Amino acid sequence: MAALWTVQSVGRLYFAAVGKPGGMGMFLDVPVWYEESLVMFTMFLLLGVSGIISVLGLLARRKWGFWITVFTSVATIVFDIWGLTIQYTAALGFIVPAISLIYLYPRKTRLLATMK
C-alpha cells in the first residue's frame, strides 16, 4: 500500500510542479478557467504532500499515519468526483484511495492496537 501511495503522491506532485497554478489545463482534453486550474494545482499539491506524509506514518507504524491515510483517501475521492465533471480520466484517482479504505478500515481496530 505504501508503494501505491508513493506512486500516486509523486504523480500528483509532478503534475502540480509541471502544471503550475495556471497551467493544469495542459493535462486535460477540455479548456479550464484559471480558477479551476488553481483549484486543481492546490489540490494536487496538498494531496501529494499528505500522501507522502501518510506513507511515512504508515511505514513508521504510527496511528496518525493511519488517520492521515484515511483522511487523504476520502479527500482524494471527493476531489476526483469533482474532477469527473471536467474529465472522465479523473476516475483513475479513485483506485489507490479506494484500495486503501477497503484494506485499512475493516482492520482499523487491529491495526491501531499495534501502532504507536
Within a 10 A sphere around the Cβ of 77, how many other Cβ atoms? 15
DSSP string, 24-62: GGGGSSS---HHHHHHHHHHHHHHHHHHHHHHHHHHTT-
pTM for this prediction? 0.89
**pLDDT 10s digits, 89-102:** 899 899 999 999 99
Domain boundaries of the chain, sorted by first residue? 2-114
Average pLDDT rounded to a whole number, residues 106-111: 91
Q: What contacts 24+ positions apart, CB below 8 Å, involve 31-38?
A: 32/86, 36/86
**pLDDT 10s digits, 50-95:** 999 999 999 999 999 999 999 999 999 999 999 999 999 899 899 9
When pLDDT is cut at 50, 70 and 90, the band that residue 1 belongs to is confident
Residue 9 confidence (pLDDT) above 90: yes
